[in-house]
């Protein structure tokens, strides 16, 4: 069956527009309570990021869950991975996160975790949607769910994060800039690094409900880079609004993305004999990352874009390490979901244990230049069905050889064909991307004429 509301990562949209309305969230809370709240402990935990609409949706979900007879434990502002951890730690039946991740404050969304702290399976999401379609019925007064606040939620998660690195690791002597994007990590991440001994300079820790992800954090790291340079810091670490993504900045001011961070972690795990299986990336993972891993004898296994697909491949194969160049990294040997703080700590642990800088650790791989051109189309088409486009791709790939690659894919949200080319030579990459974009444009225009 096709899902009506759930996307690849929960439900997301513009606040005030269906389904991101208070009315829908009331019904959603009730449906979740019906499907998940009556299994196991019957408790459902709710966390949120710092955007202003979180208050409204938290109350609506709480009312719906209570009407279905589920008990609620409110976490307040907490990173998405913290909700996954606390769902397990508090023996809850499910965890709910109110967040639109790296999106601006005008958007919001809902993510879910099962009792194991992992994303819901498709059959559970379909069951929730089936309940949403039914008339809402409230249980008897004696069976209504109760709500209470978990007052030590932040402290519990801080201790968990610290437990993912060696217990004797000391960050004394390191100056680290921490950019929390005015998001859910603002009261957690600085404490993690301070308690491990680092001198911490904070950025983006004054949320007002409207400034989440605004020119800061992992999606806009310029401020992080400038602060690292101004303070002559050893490194900077930036998170997105809900704390599941991370990027870093080295002491020279270079932005270090998810591919490079994953490379550092993979090499560290391999050196310690703890890398299990292949590393999982996506179709957008940089070719330089793949070649860097290959030089270490590590295979990159590519899946479709989206952390959901990375996780599915890791679980299916029993592997432990994967992620996206956006900085959504998954270390299943440490936790159950993408976690910016935990992933960042794995990199910093290698810096401390190796005595090398972040710049030195990432130098084993060289990112290849990449050009992305969006070709707007009038109607959705199967771009692979055009012989002229296929011939253009074959020609471009032949010219690039083993030192480059081509990717054509439709946007999942807009009427666009995304043309991506990457390779060693930047001028050639740009030329081939333009060549392919023209071929796509001409084929689509001829088809629609």
Cα dihedral 309→310→311→314 (10° resolution):
120
- Please tell me which residue in 101, 191, 285, 343 is annotated as part of the active site: 101
Contact 410, 418 (CB under 8 A): yes
Q: Which of 151, 185, 206 is the last residue of a domain?
A: 151
Residue 161 and residue 147 in one domain: no
User: In this structure, is residue 64 part of a structural domain?
Assistant: yes
pLDDT per residue over 423-436, tens digit each? 999 999 999 999 99
Contact 198, 164 (CB under 8 A): no
> How many Cα atoms occupy the beta-carbon half-sphere of 329 within 13 Å?
30
Tell me phi and psi for residue 55, to 5 degrees: -60, -45
The closest of 262, 263, 178 to 223, measured between CA atoms, is 178
Bridging pattern class, strands 107-114 and 94-98: antiparallel
Contact 53, 15 (CB under 8 A): yes
Contact 189, 158 (CB under 8 A): no
User: In this structure, is residue 2 part of a structural domain?
Assistant: no
Chain length of the chain? 449
Give the pLDDT confidence score for residue 69 in this predicted structure: 95
d(CA 157, CA 151) in angstroms, rounded, equals: 12
Give the pLDDT confidence score for residue 412 in this predicted structure: 67
User: In this structure, is residue 3 part of a structural domain?
Assistant: no
Residue 388 and residue 403 in one domain: yes
Gyration radius (Cα) of the chain, Å: 23
Residue 381 and residue 288 in one domain: no
The closest of 370, 364, 372 to 425, measured between CA atoms, is 370
d(CA 311, CA 317) in angstroms, rounded, equals: 10
- What element of type H or E holds 92? none
User: In this structure, is residue 253 part of a structural domain?
Assistant: yes
Give the pLDDT confidence score for residue 288 in this predicted structure: 95
Residue 435 and residue 339 in one domain: no
Residue ranges of alpha helices (H) inside 197-339 are: 222-231, 258-271, 287-295, 307-317
Residue 15 and residue 134 in one domain: yes
Residue spans of the chain under pLDDT 50: none
Residue 333 and residue 194 in one domain: yes
Tell me phi and psi for residue 440, to 5 degrees: -65, -45
Residue 177 and residue 242 in one domain: yes
**Please, which residues bridge with residue 176 across strands?**
200, 235
Q: Which of 151, 185, 203 is the last residue of a domain?
A: 151
**Residue 403 CB coordination number (10 Å):** 14
**Please, which residues bridge with residue 329 across strands?**
323
Give the pLDDT confidence score for residue 274 in this predicted structure: 96
Cα 153 to the chain's mean position, in Å?
21
The CA distances from residue 313 to 274, 281, 292, in Å, are 19, 10, 21
User: In this structure, is residue 235 part of a structural domain?
Assistant: yes
Contact 351, 358 (CB under 8 A): yes
Residue 324 and residue 406 in one domain: no
Name the domain count of the chain. Answer: 3
DSSP summary character for residue 277: S
Please give the residue range of the domain that contains residue 242.
157-362
Q: At what angle do helices 340-354 and 153-162 cross, to 10 degrees?
A: 30
Contact 344, 246 (CB under 8 A): yes
Give the pLDDT confidence score for residue 439 in this predicted structure: 96
Helix (H, G, I), strand (E, B), or coil: what is residue 437? Answer: helix
d(CA 283, CA 64) in angstroms, rounded, equals: 39
DSSP summary character for residue 247: E
d(CA 258, CA 340) in angstroms, rounded, equals: 10
Q: Which of 362, 379, 403 is the last residue of a domain?
A: 362
User: In this structure, is residue 4 part of a structural domain?
Assistant: no
User: In this structure, is residue 178 part of a structural domain?
Assistant: yes
d(CA 262, CA 302) in angstroms, rounded, equals: 14
Token couple for 401:
């050889």
Question: Which residues 6+ apart lie within 8 Å of 274 measured at CB?
Answer: 333
d(CA 249, CA 238) in angstroms, rounded, equals: 8
Bridging pattern class, strands 175-179 and 11-14: unpaired
Residue 230 and residue 268 in one domain: yes
User: In this structure, is residue 5 part of a structural domain?
Assistant: no
Residue 351 and residue 429 in one domain: no
Helix (H, G, I), strand (E, B), or coil: what is residue 184? Answer: coil
Has 101 been annotated as catalytic? yes
Residue 174 and residue 314 in one domain: yes
Residue 147 and residue 171 in one domain: no
Token couple for 27:
């019904």
Token couple for 41:
């402990």
% helix, strand, coil for the chain, step of 5 = 40, 20, 40
The CATH number of whichever domain residue 88 belongs to comes to 3.40.120.10
pLDDT per residue over 306-334, tens digit each? 898 999 999 999 999 999 999 999 999 99
């Amino acid at each position: 069956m096709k899902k009506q509301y759930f996307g690849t990562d929960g439900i997301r949209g513009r606040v005030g527009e269906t389904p991101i309305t208070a009315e829908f969230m009331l019904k959603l809370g009730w449906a979740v309570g019906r499907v998940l709240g009556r299994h196991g402990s019957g408790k459902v935990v709710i966390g949120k990021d710092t955007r202003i609409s979180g208050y409204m949706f938290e109350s609506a979900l709480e009312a719906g869950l209570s009407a279905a007879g589920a008990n609620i434990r409110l976490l307040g502002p907490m990173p998405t991975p913290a909700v996954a951890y606390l769902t397990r730690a508090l023996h809850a039946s499910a965890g709910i996160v109110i967040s639109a991740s790296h999106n601006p404050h005008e958007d919001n969304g809902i993510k879910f975790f099962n009792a194991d702290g992992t994303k819901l399976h498709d059959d559970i999401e379909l069951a929730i949607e089936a309940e949403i379609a039914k008339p809402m019925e409230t249980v008897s007064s004696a069976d209504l769910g109760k709500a209470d606040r978990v007052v030590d939620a932040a402290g519990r998660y801080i201790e968990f994060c610290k437990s993912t690195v060696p217990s004797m690791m000391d960050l004394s002597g390191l100056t680290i800039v921490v950019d929390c994007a005015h998001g859910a990590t603002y009261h957690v991440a600085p404490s993690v690094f301070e308690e491990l001994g680092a001198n911490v300079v904070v950025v983006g820790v004054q949320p007002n409900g409207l400034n989440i992800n605004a020119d800061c954090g992992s999606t806009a790291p310029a401020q992080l880079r400038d602060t690292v340079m101004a303070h002559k810091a050893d490194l900077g670490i930036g998170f997105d609004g809900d704390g599941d993504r991370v990027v870093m900045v080295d002491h020279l001011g270079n932005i270090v993305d998810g591919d490079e961070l994953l490379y550092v972690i993979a090499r560290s795990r391999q050196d310690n004999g703890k890398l299990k299986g292949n590393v999982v990336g996506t179709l957008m993972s940089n070719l330089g990352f793949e070649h860097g891993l290959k030089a270490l004898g590590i295979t990159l296994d590519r899946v479709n874009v989206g952390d959901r697909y990375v996780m599915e491949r890791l679980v299916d194969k029993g592997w432990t390490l994967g992620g996206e160049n956006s900085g959504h990294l998954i270390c299943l040997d440490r936790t159950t979901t993408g976690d910016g703080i935990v992933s960042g700590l794995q990199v910093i642990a290698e810096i401390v244990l190796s005595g090398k800088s972040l710049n030195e650790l990432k130098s084993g791989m060289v990112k290849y230049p990449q050009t992305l051109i969006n070709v707007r189309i009038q109607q959705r088409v199967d771009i692979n069905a055009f012989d002229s486009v296929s011939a253009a791709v074959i020609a471009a790939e032949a010219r690039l050889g083993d030192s480059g690659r081509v990717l054509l894919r439709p946007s999942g949200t807009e009427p666009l064909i995304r043309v991506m080319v990457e390779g060693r030579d930047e001028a050639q990459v740009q030329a081939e991307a333009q060549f392919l974009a023209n071929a796509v444009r001409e084929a689509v225009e001829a088809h629609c004429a």
